[in-house]
Chain A
């Protein structure tokens, strides 16, 4: 009897102790990481850092064109991802409504695309755009590659949102005899956009932090400003900047610059995630009230 009681007490108090410890480790880890990034980076955070060009191989000056380059990539990514995700979403919800096999194929394909290592996107982009098309390094290629990479995130958010709507809302519009153009403008977009946009921000938050896909395709470390064409028009980018500086980490000035860049990047990523989260919460709230 005492054995049983001892063992049961061990379970009763031991299991939660272990679980609390593990959960707190996970939470403390993220707090520690964020505070390291903040404490190391906030010295650099002044108007000059954001507005000036970088000098002396990144050891001094700011990250103006890195920020601009990342924003160019983000906009291109969005432009590439939106039509593709719309197409996939509309197909998945309307055309494949009656074929569960094809639906599984599309879902499985998106799932696979989502788990592809990002370096493979980079390698294939290098082969196709940089070499085969002869673009060299190009912002456009980078945007397209990143856009394709985030298509699963965006289209899954879009589809899940459409499927969570009452089904008659979409069908009723067809019954009204609207023309197809009107259907796109008056049904898919007004009902689907919150899901699409929240997924888009989630995807862009991921895309702007990615280094591997733009390694060979779009990013250089220095010597690029505003791109003026498509061929041989590379951009600077925040993650690539950090990537190069991290390999050159023995110069303390370069290190400080890298931390500053990291802080800017993390703030941008968190802001985009925040928009996606707020939108999703608002949606969730809207559905039930």
Chain B
């Protein structure tokens, strides 16, 4: 009779299911790493060619080997920040609504309905933006010399709708993870339910809500299709003397809309041009990486504070 406790370990040695799984995971991880190295390696020529001007230059003419990515970086940041500006003031109160105000049995229904918004394919958001949003933006802002409804603002607005469920559900999770006894203690002092939300739940959920916003930003930066359809895809657009708002009302280009355009087919034959496209991919990766790092740091920092809180709370002495 085998020792029962040792059995898992023994079978581990000759278990080819586990072995193949582990090998497969290692192969996959290597492939992912190779993809990253490929993107970095392929983009090297353009950095050698253009240097810092790849980030700072505002002209992109591949026939003249001019590769300045600043307008694309600006475009990506601009549409994402517009999206956040519109979505966050709705998403955070909406998450309070689902987490704190709704009765428990309505909560999952409301959350489910909001999550439906996240399930709709981005090309359909794009279609809606093309048919409706573009017209509305044009009608609303045509007094300001708008030439068409395609603009950074239009792209930002449709992105706002797309990241609304992401931020709402993540912020809802953060609020729900605040311990119930904290709310109970505040109510016991005579604070009303809204003061409890404002002074207890929100401050304690703040790191989680912040992470939700940052992840929403990451999603907005990476979104391609809906932005592609309404951003205008005009190279070399940067805010000038006419001001920031004016530039938002104009057409633009984002990192993703450039990568999703037909220029990619064209670029493959030309080493430098392809390298420039890979450079854009690398910048996009860096923006996403930045948001992921921010989220991780926030999580570790708040876990550290929380850990100290729990540790002292459990010690039994005067």
Contacts and interface: CB of A to CB of B under 8 A. Distances in A.
| Touch between chains A and B, by CB atoms below 8 Å | yes
Interface of A: 8, 11-16, 18-23, 25-27, 29-31, 33-34, 36-37, 83-84, 86-88, 90-91, 94-95, 106, 108-109, 111-113, 115-120, 122-124, 126-127, 131, 171, 174-175, 177-178, 180-181, 183-184, 188, 205-206, 208-212, 215-216, 239-240, 242-243, 245-247, 249, 255, 258-259, 262, 265-266, 269-270, 273, 277
Contacts of A113: 32
A208 B110 CA distance: 25
Interface stretch (B94-102, B177-185, B308-316): B94-102
B208 to A, nearest CB: 15
A211 B256 CA distance: 13
Interface residues of B, number: 86
B201 to A, nearest CB: 11
Q: 7 nearest interchain CB pairs?
A: A209-B121, A117-B222, A23-B97, A22-B93, A87-B24, A175-B7, A15-B194
A88 B25 contact: yes
A15 B28 contact: no
A22 B97 contact: yes
A74 to B, nearest CB: 13
B171 to A, nearest CB: 11
Nearest to B257: A119
Interface stretch (B123-131, B139-147, B237-245): B123-131
B306 interface: no
29 contacts: A8-B192, A11-B198, A13-B194, A14-B194, A19-B96, A20-B101, A22-B90, A22-B93, A23-B101, A31-B113, A84-B24, A87-B21, A88-B24, A88-B28, A91-B21, A109-B29, A109-B32, A115-B219, A115-B222, A117-B223, A184-B17, A211-B224, A211-B225, A242-B127, A243-B225, A246-B123, A262-B127, A265-B123, A273-B116
Given A180-B15, A184-B17, A117 B284 contact: yes
A209 B224 CA distance: 13
Contact of B123 (A30, A91, A242): A242
B305 interface: no
A26 B90 contact: yes
Nearest to A239: B123
Interface of B: 2, 4, 7-8, 10-12, 14-18, 20-22, 24-25, 28-29, 32, 35, 38-39, 89-94, 96-98, 100-102, 110, 112-114, 116-117, 119-124, 126-128, 130-132, 161, 164-165, 168, 192-195, 197-198, 215, 218-219, 221-225, 229, 256, 259-260, 264-265, 268, 277, 281, 284-285, 288, 291-292, 296
Contact of A175 (B2, B98, B102, B114): B2
A8 B195 contact: yes
A278 B277 CA distance: 43
A246 B122 contact: no
A21 B29 contact: no
Contacts of A255: 131
Nearest to B280: A123
A261 B6 CA distance: 58
Contacts of A90: 17-18, 21
B124 A265 contact: yes
